[in-house]
Amino acid sequence: MARRHNYKNLKIWQIGLEIANDISDLLMDFPKHERFNLSAQISGCSVSLPSNIAEGSGRTDKGFKNFLDYSLSSSYELGTQLLVAHHRKYINFKKIRR
């Protein structure tokens, strides 16, 4: 039987969950007209970061690696969408950097 991962113990899942929660807070300040457009896309891919890790943790090692790739791809998508939001002056990177 293949070894499964306890996703709640994985640092990468914990960071992904933190990112999703931070993004949710950030989206509160977005304009209402973006609610079903950019905001929804940003929210979706931020939630997919930890979700794909959690889903993949129940798979074989090969399957788990695929889900880690999906999560990484979502992080690239999120980064691009945050750049679009910055360009539209919805977010200030200085404000959100830690």
What domains can you pick out in the chain, each with its CATH number?
Answer: 7-96 (1.20.1440.60)
- Long-range residue pairs from 19-25, CB within 8 A, at least 24 positions apart, any chain: 19/46, 19/49, 19/50, 19/78, 20/46, 20/47, 20/49, 20/50, 22/96, 23/78
Contact 56, 63 (CB under 8 A): yes
Is the predicted pLDDT of residue 8 greater than 80, yes or no? yes
What is the rounded CA–CA span in Å between residue 75 and residue 77?
5
Q: What is the pLDDT of residues 75-90, one digit of tens each?
A: 999 999 999 999 999 9
Model confidence over 29-59: pLDDT tens digits?
A: 999 998 889 999 999 999 999 999 999 999 9
Q: Is pLDDT at 97 greater than 60 in this prediction?
A: no
83 vs 25, 50, 68, 76, 91, CA distance in Å?
A: 17, 21, 23, 11, 9
